[in-house]
Structure 1
Amino acid sequence: MTMGEGFDLLAGGSDGTSVQVSLELSDQAPTMLRMKVADSAWQEFQASNWFNCLIAARLSLEGKGFLLCCQGARPDVFPSGMLQQMNLGRFAYFLKPGVPLSEDDVVDIFARADISEVASVEDQRVAVFEFFKISR
Structure 2
Amino acid sequence: MEAVELLAVGRGSSVVPVSFEILDRGGAGLRMRFLGRDWQSFSGSNLFKCLLDARTDLEAEGLLLCCQGARPDVFPSGMQQQMDSGRFAAVLSRSAEEEEIVDIFAAAEPSQVDSVEGQRVAVYQFFNLPISAAGGDE
Structure 1 length normalisation: TM-score? 0.92
Deviations, residues 100-120 of structure 1 (Å, cap 9, x unaligned): 376x41000000001110000
What is the CA deviation profile of residues 8-55 of structure 1, one whole-angstrom value per residue up to 9, with x for unaligned ones? 000000321010000001121131100011321100011110000000
| Aligned match for 1:47, one of 44, 48, 61 | 44
TM-score of the pair, normalised by structure 2: 0.91
Compare 125-134 and 25-34 and name the one that shifted more: 25-34
What is aligned with 2:135?
none
Summarize the alignment of residues 1-136 of structure 1 with structure 2, pairs less than 5 Å apart: 4-96=1-93, 98-100=94-96, 104-136=99-131
How many percent identity over aligned positions? 52
Distance 2:61 2:121 in 1: 21
Structure 1 residue ranges (4+ consecutive) displaced by more than 3 angstroms after TM superposition: none
CA RMSD of aligned residues (A): 1.2
Relative distance call for 1:101 and 1:74 in structure 2 (3 A) is: farther
- The number of equivalent residue pairs is 131
What stretches of structure 1 of length at least 5 have no aligned partner?
A: none
Unaligned ranges ≥5, structure 2: 132-138
